[in-house]
Structure 1
Amino acid sequence: MVLSLATFSGAASAETKTLVFSAIPDQDQAQLMKRFGKIATYLSKELGVPVKYVPVNSYAAAITAFRNDQIQLAWFGGLSGVRARLLVPDSQAIAQGYEDTEFVTYFIAHHSTGLQPTEEFPKAIAGKTFTFGSKGSTSGRLMPEYYIRDVLGKTPKELFPSVGFSGNHSRTIALVEAGSYQVGATNYKVWEKAVAAGKVDTSKVSVIWKTPTYPDYQWSIRGDVDAVWGEGFKERVKQALLNMEDKALLDAFPRSRFIEADNSDYQAILDTAKEIGLLD
């Protein structure tokens, strides 16, 4: 069950000193609960403090929880991480998946469109119905919209008769597969995992284009955690993430390993968001 931020008071207290973390809801909640419940157990063991995962119902809610110290650690996308860190002084990106340094978005299309895979941007998507993921998603909105505007020279509303925001990548795939939208933009990791699990009918929907690479997901932590848990705690959290070797935990993301991250790694995301008007 997703907790409402209005009723959730998850900030670490002096009595319990529970480290609370969350993640952007980029997939269905059942998948997220399965993944992050195991991460909470792992971190609690490694750090020697109680660690709790709390789901949120939107990208904006994850950012708000981070800003309000309802969570101290978060698995953000590139854009949501930039937004959250701008709101919390001294917060830092501390770890990213090895694959997150060169992330891509897949453009997918229903087979009724006749659109075929292409190395070049698929200009023929103009005039089709189109769905993004969440409005705050890097792979599901920011980067695909950037390339749409850059290549076609118009906004999505000007190009597509219907523009949707599915809310998450799994939903985007389902909507395009069902023909509710003719074309969509989705996280390549979510697509590949769903295909491997037999959850996508590839006789109805397929990938037609992938974007150039960009930096995406990362773990971000508030800058005041050392004041709560003691000097060096932020570094301990970072090392626990970097030292994660359990294949079951990594496969749940899915990532091969975690590597160091820095706020500067996401400057390109900040610049792109400003360029298309998603950040001031």
Structure 2
Amino acid sequence: MRLSNLLSGLLLCAVAGVAHADRFVFTAIPDQDERRLTERFGQIADYLQAELGVEVEYIPVKSYEAAVSAFRNDQVQLAWFGGLTGVQARRLVPGSQAIAQGAEDTAFKSYLIAHTSTGLAPMTELNDSLRGLSFTFGSKGSTSGRLMPEYYLRNAFGTAPESVFERVGFSGDHSRTIALVESGAYQIGALNYAVWDAEVAAGNVDTDAVQVIWESPTYPDYQWTIRGDVDARFGAGFTERVQQALLNMTDPTLLAAFPRSGFVPATNADYAPIEDTAVSIGLMDAQ
């Protein structure tokens, strides 16, 4: 290879590295249909770019686990995580911080929904009428679609869900959970209450076929988590600027991407109950 070609190649690599360093990238756990998330979060990228004065890009991921991996590997510097995935990511990237949560996320909750053919009625406490039926969680890494429902099921029955239900599955996301229970593929499902409420309001659920039968106590859930090295890369005070941009987001169209009414400050300590719960049912090791 000629020296001039080698130098040109090295220069291109250096320029590409600088361009990547100047681009602020974020993702979100795929808790709903990917196409809809890409459309909605593309608008968030435009908003953040205007507010921060740096190039901002949203990249979709295929799974909750992939969102955590992208954060760990520095493919993204900011992520809209659920409670559990946020705890997992911050463990893997020391110095990372939860900086904002939805106003609704300070007291989030899960729903259990059931196909009406089961004859199940709304209940305040989980009981033996659920035994022997088929059941689907959402993603294995979901706080509202797996962690907290499993915790309350274990408390109620004193055993793992696999010993309570005839069949246990994982749908992958909340929208899919609704579809599976509505179709009768599973008789019961666990999901995020906000997705259910939004889908019902949009007329996307046949409420003659599926209904809510139980809601959980509240817990902290979704949050924005940012890597601890962004100030070194994007300038002093960048973390605070990102946080303020999120807290200042008031456009209803942008907030509908989540959906949330707005954002409030968050800290890592807010999610200690989620970590404790994950440890208690064996989804995470104690530190």
Partner of 2:67: 62
Q: Name the aligned partner's letter for residue 25 of structure 2.
A: V
1:23 maps to 2:28:
yes
- 1:122·1:208 contact (CA, 8 Å) conserved in 2? no
User: C-alpha distance in 1, partners of 2:27/2:209?
Assistant: 34
Conserved 8 A contact 1:25-1:58: yes
User: Match of 2:19, SS?
Assistant: coil
Question: 1:89 aligned to 2:94?
Answer: yes
Equivalent in 215, 228, 232 of residue 223 of structure 1: 228
Instruction: Measure the CA separation in 2 of the matches of 1:15 and 1:225.
Output: 15
Q: 1:219 corresponds to which letter in structure 2?
A: W
Contact 1:78 1:217 in 2 (8 A): yes
* Cα distance in 2 between the residues matched to 1:137 and 1:113: 25
SS of the residue 2:264 aligns to: strand
Matched length: 269
Structure-1 residue corresponding to 2:38: 33
How has the CA–CA distance of structure 1 residues 123 and 101 changed in structure 2, closer, same or farther, with 3 Å as cutoff? farther
Q: Which amino acid aligns with 2:85?
A: S
Shift in Å, 1:13: 4.1
The one-letter amino acid of 1:143's match is: M
Query: Could you give the per-residue CA deviations for residues 56-90 of structure 1, whole angstroms, max 9, x where no partner exists?
Result: 00001000000000000000000000000000010
Is residue 91–residue 223 contact of structure 1 (8 Å, CA) maintained in 2?
Answer: yes
Q: Which residue of 2 aligns with 1:242?
A: 247
Give how far 1:120 is off. 2.0
Per the TM alignment, residue 197 of structure 1 is displaced from its structure 2 partner at its CA by 0.7
Q: Is residue 148 of structure 2 the alignment partner of residue 117 of structure 1?
A: no
In the TM superposition, residue 251 of structure 1 has moved relative to its aligned partner by 2.2
Say if 2:214 is the partner of 1:209: yes
**Contact 1:132–1:172 at 8 Å: present in 2 too?**
yes
Gaps of 5+ in 1: 1-11
The residue number in structure 2 matching 1:9 is: none
**Is this contact kept in 1: 2:127–2:156, CA < 8 A?**
no
The 8 Å contact of residues 140 and 185 in structure 1, kept in 2 or not, is answered as yes
**Who is 2:193 aligned against?**
188
Report if the CA contact (8 A) 2:223-2:266 is conserved: yes
Partner of 2:8: none
Q: 1:179 aligns with which of 156, 165, 184?
A: 184
Aligned partner of 1:48: which letter?
Answer: G
In the alignment, structure 2 segments of 5+ residues that lack a partner are 1-15
Instruction: Name the amino acid aligned to 1:14.
Output: V
Secondary structure of the structure 2 residue equivalent to 1:203: coil
Show structure 1 runs of 4+ deviating over 6 A: none
Output the CA distance in 1 between the equivalents of 2:104 and 2:146.
Answer: 19
The answer to whether the Cα contact below 8 Å between 1:132 and 1:164 also exists between their aligned partners in 2 is yes
Q: How far apart, CA to CA, are the structure 1 residues paired with 2:50 and 2:180?
A: 40
Pick the structure with greater CA Rg: 2
Q: Secondary structure at the match of 1:40?
A: helix
Structure-2-length-normalised TM-score: 0.92
Distance 1:30 1:65 in 2: 19
CA–CA separation in structure 2 for the residues paired with 1:125 and 1:180: 16
Picking from 113, 128, 132, the partner of 2:137 is: 132
Q: TM-score, normalised by structure 1?
A: 0.94
Q: CA deviation at 1:122?
A: 4.0
Q: Helix, strand or coil: the match of 1:245?
A: coil
Contact 1:14 1:228 in 2 (8 A): no
1:260 and 2:277 are equivalent in the alignment: no
Is the 2:82–2:223 Cα contact (8 Å) retained in structure 1? Answer: yes
Cα RMSD for the two superposed structures: 1.0
Q: Contact conserved, 2:26 with 2:76, CA < 8 A, in 1?
A: yes
- 1:114 counterpart letter in structure 2: G
Instruction: Encode CA deviations 1:30-65: one digit per residue, 9 max, x unaligned.
Output: 221122000000000000000000000000100000
Distance in 1 between residues matched to 2:103 and 2:183, nearest whole Å: 33
Provide the secondary structure at the position in 2 that maps to 1:15.
helix
Deviation at 1:15, TM superposition (A): 3.0
